[in-house]
Amino acid sequence: MEGYKFRLQKLLDIRLDKEEESKRNFKEAQRNKTLTEQKLLDLKEKQNKYTLGSSKETIVEQKIRRAFLDSVIRSIDEVSIDLNKKNQILEEKRVELKQKQIERKTVETLKDKQLKAFIKEQQLIEQKTNDEFALYGFIRNHEGR
């Protein structure tokens, strides 16, 4: 609207920037969690693949397979712990993003209310001007009679 200037526009811009940064952080945390989940699935597939040995394996091959499985199981445990941490980080980023959105929406609501008040005031001024013109026109038309 022409003539309207929101005094807190800089604050709104700052809050928009912070919200965008928070969105990027949330997406990054989501991506990290997804990668960790995929890594965990891959390790579990390896575990399932090598769990069953064949009857043709030698004792050395069985020991190697067993050592490999032990290593995979330890890796699964470590990745599971890492996944829990990433879930916690993701939840923190989600809460942070919600808070940033609330802060932005608060200022936007204030801006909308002020804009509506400004428009209403402008409409009242315009209506008053139109009423005065109508009154002057009425007076001019009736003075000539």
Q: How many CA atoms lie within 13 A of 42 on its CB side?
A: 8
Q: For residue 1, what pLDDT is reported?
A: 58
- For 18, the domain range is 9-143
What are the φ/ψ torsions at residue 119 (nearest 5 degrees)? -65, -45
Residue 2 lies in a domain: no
Question: pLDDT by residue (tens digit) across 74-98?
Answer: 999 999 999 999 999 999 999 999 9
pLDDT tops 80 at residue 54: no
Residue 48 belongs to domain with CATH number: 1.10.287.1700
pLDDT bucket at 144, cuts 50 / 70 / 90: low
User: Is 14 domain-assigned?
Assistant: yes
Angle subtended by helix axes 59-143 and 9-51, to nearest 10: 160
